[in-house]
Chains A and B, each alone.
Chain A
Amino acid sequence: MSRIAAKFAALRQEGRGALVTYLQAFDPDRETYRAILHGLPAAGADIIEVGVPFTDPMADGPSIQKAGQRALKAGATAAGVLDLVRSLRTLDDTTPVVLMGYYNPILTYGVEAFCKDAASAGADGLIIVDVPPEEADEVEPHATANGLDLIRLIAPTTDEARLPRVLAATTGFIYYVAITGITGTRSADYASMAPTIAKLKRHTDLPVAIGFGIRSPAQAAEAAKAADGAVVGTALVDTLAASLDPEGRATPDTVTKVLAQVSSLAEAVRAARKVAA
């Protein structure tokens, strides 16, 4: 069983949803990010999304755009990101790691080589924002051959006619985008999403995590209860950004503040017991 499947199975036993965290690798620099990454499992992250920086993140709001700029300035490369994942795996062999980013850096690395190296570094899945199912034929064989899940975003705009096609191209879990919009711009009423998720589940057995706009522990708890997990990204990136000095460099607070926020989110998610299905 993959780490992702094992994690969701274990959480189902516990009767709770997953806290999925997103930060961008190399933000604000490699070693600070490494310290955060290494600290995430103990702080309560159930699944770790590692953002792979790109100059033109079309689906991201200002916070994550700036994170990407900091990361690239700090020397982020796809190979460097995989090295960080590899270093986590020397300490933690159970927390799933999902690489999330855009296609061009992967294309440049070589899709086959990237899938092979990502799997050997210890990554479990990929979210490639700008590769919809219609364009996935050049990625799928390599992801499958290397045991990587291809996690897909399903949006409020994904209609019933299109849903089966998107679901058929998804493995690992489904990332349900709660709003029509870019990351970190507005929030949804997560508690009211249970019927939407239930509708989705009529078409799939995959776990569903809700993301986009989740900022507070209460929102994370609501989303994790309505679905199988809550993704928090921009709120963590904002905390990280607020901890930096005026030149954008890490301060002694950076790692502790981000991990403290993860802990409070985790606490809320863990307290939100799911009603037995």
Chain B
Amino acid sequence: MNKPLPNSLRQGPDARGRFGDFGGRFVAETLMPLILEVEAAYEASKKDAAFQTEWRRLLTHYVGRPSPLWYAERLTTHLRKTAEPGKGAKVYFKRDELNHTGAHKINAVLGQILLAKKMGKTRIIAETGAGQHGVATATACALMDLPCVVYMGATDVERQQPNVFRMKLLGAEVVPVTSGAATLKDAMNEGLRDWVANVHDTYYCIGTVAGPHPYPAMVRDFQSVIGTEARAQMLEAEGRLPDVLVAAVGGGSNAMGLFFPFLDDKDVAMVGVEAAGRGLDTHEHAAALSRGRPGVLHGNRTYLLQDGDGQITEAHSISAGLDYPGVGPEHSWLHEIGRVQYVGATDEEALAAFQLCSRQEGIIPALEPAHALAHVIKAAPTMPAESIILMNLCGRGDKDIFTVAKHLGENI
């Protein structure tokens, strides 16, 4: 365990798609040739100037990037009220909730759909939990005139009705998945099953930094636009880098996108916030890193919630987007080498943060970044007043108002 750290933490994955022991390509033979094809196409796209130019054009003129960096001054002041004198970090938000479609997901989706077109694929499939990735994929498919099928757990279809309707408006077919607990994990199984049956014409647009290689690296690279922008914006705003980065972690794409460009900045600490559901010491949470152990699921080796026999257990979170028993393999590696600290925030803490953010900043956050904010609320008052926290506000809360209203006992 005392292996020296490499000079850069941004070199992974290796040729086998591994980040340390994590990642890889654990898929059935039918998919293997296609996974290799996606990898080759992705590697080629990195050097393809026309591809990069088109993706950047879409990010600028369609998504609305760069997203702003916002100094959350009222929230900072509010949190200082409970802090000792001289304490209370400055809180900044990276506002990816302002992206077209309302979350960071669109960044990687546009890259992947361009790739699919380049590969000559004519049909797109995706899995979705909260529906943000499904909406982003349906959006990109509408823009690029491709048929789109989105697999979504029946439980999530129920609790994310606005996004289901959005996807339908955008022309996508939403298929409710009833196997297992009918949430994100089961939707991903169904996506993989569809892909196996339709490899000849179909591209599987994965929404997070998980799945078989090259997906974890590819989705991370596309999402790294978040961290790259934030790094430059922070230097401009404060003349220095932040002290701590905070992001919610389900599969972990918004967190990888923020963290990756800072990994070699040794003075920048990083905190990934998993969904602690009803509490980390209950059986109802989605904290794969805090309470799981390594295993193999959905094409990669990573930390998983599982029982003593290696059967995958159901995750729980108020946030459909964090309700996943695994986590991207690069997070597992960053956890094991200690570069990123992973903590939990409960449903209740996320709900409180959701409301606080709405009132203090006039920003209704999605329940996913509300988990990150719940940690910021705990951490900021303990830090010196001159320190800086940068949090990824990766999605907006329009989709969650029904869930939140229900929890607050309001009828809307």
Contacts and interface: CB of A to CB of B under 8 A. Distances in A.
A180 interface: yes
A105 B30 contact: no
A40 interface: no
Interface stretch (B117-125, B137-145, B294-302): B294-302
B33 A59 contact: no
A191 interface: no
A105 B25 contact: no
Interface residues of A, number: 44
A106 B298 CA distance: 16
B295 A54 contact: no
B80 interface: no
A60 B312 CA distance: 16
Q: Which of B26, B36, B297 counts the most A-chain CB atoms under 10 A from its CB? A: B26
B25 to A, nearest CB: 6
Contact of A132 (B25, B199, B308): B25
B79 to A, nearest CB: 41
Contacts of B29: 132, 152-155, 157-158, 166, 177
A247 interface: no
Nearest to A103: B296
Nearest to A80: B309
Contacts of B27: 58, 130, 132
Interface in B271-310: 295-299, 304, 306, 308-310
A157 B28 CA distance: 11
Q: Is the interface of A mostly helix, strand, loop or mixed?
A: loop
Nearest to A131: B26
Nearest to B313: A55
Contacts of B30: 59, 153, 155-157, 177, 180-181
A29 B295 CA distance: 27
Interface string A151-167: 01111111100100010
A154 to B, nearest CB: 6
B119 to A, nearest CB: 14
Interface string A24-64: 00000000000000000000000000000111111111100
A77 B193 CA distance: 24
A93 interface: no
B411 interface: no
A18 B298 CA distance: 33
A179 B296 CA distance: 25
B310 A108 contact: yes
Contacts of B311: 53-55, 72, 104-105
A181 B197 CA distance: 4
A182 B26 contact: no
Interface residues of B, number: 36
B189 interface: yes
A134 B300 CA distance: 12
A260 interface: no
Contacts of B306: 104, 108
A121 interface: no
B310 A134 contact: no
Contacts of B299: 130
A107 interface: yes
B129 to A, nearest CB: 15
A130 B28 contact: yes
B34 interface: yes
A157 B197 contact: no
Nearest to B26: A130
B357 interface: no
B196 interface: yes
Contacts of A131: 26
B86 interface: no
Nearest to B310: A108
Interface string A84-127: 00000000000000000011111111000000000000000000
5 contacts: A59-B30, A104-B312, A105-B311, A132-B28, A153-B30
Interface of A: 53-62, 65, 72, 77-78, 102-109, 129-132, 134-135, 152-159, 162, 166, 177, 179-182, 185
> Which 7 pairs from chain A and chain B are nearest by CB?
A108-B310, A181-B197, A105-B310, A155-B30, A104-B310, A59-B28, A153-B29
